[in-house]
């Protein structure tokens, strides 16, 4: 496994691990009329989209196969 594969795998695991805001469970804190955990999801989806765009431009093919053979 190359260093690049390891780094992108670690990034993917981190994105998945923090997608569920377990540390906000039970919190009744509200920001701008919405619970803080909703804002966490909105921000996390934005971050995930940016990371995927970077991955698609720079590292597509690292752990992703190019096509399907007949």
pLDDT digits (tens, 9 = 90+) for 6-63: 999 999 999 999 888 888 878 889 999 999 888 999 999 999 999 999 998 888 777 6
Predicted structure pTM score: 0.74
User: Where do we find the tokens 């995927």?
Assistant: 52
CB atoms near residue 2 (< 10 Å) = 9
Task: Map residue 61 onto helix, strand or coil.
Answer: coil
pLDDT of residue 12: 93
pLDDT of amino acid 23:
82
CA–CA gap between residue 20 and residue 37 (Å, rounded): 9
Is residue 55 within 8 Å of residue 8, measured between CB atoms? yes
């Amino acid at each position: 496994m190359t260093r690049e594969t390891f780094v992108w795998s670690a990034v993917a695991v981190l994105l998945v691990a923090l997608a569920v805001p377990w540390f906000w469970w039970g919190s009744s804190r509200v920001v701008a009329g919405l619970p803080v955990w909703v804002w966490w999801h909105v921000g996390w989806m934005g971050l995930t989209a940016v990371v995927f765009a970077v991955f698609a431009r720079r590292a597509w093919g690292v752990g992703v196969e190019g096509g399907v053979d007949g």
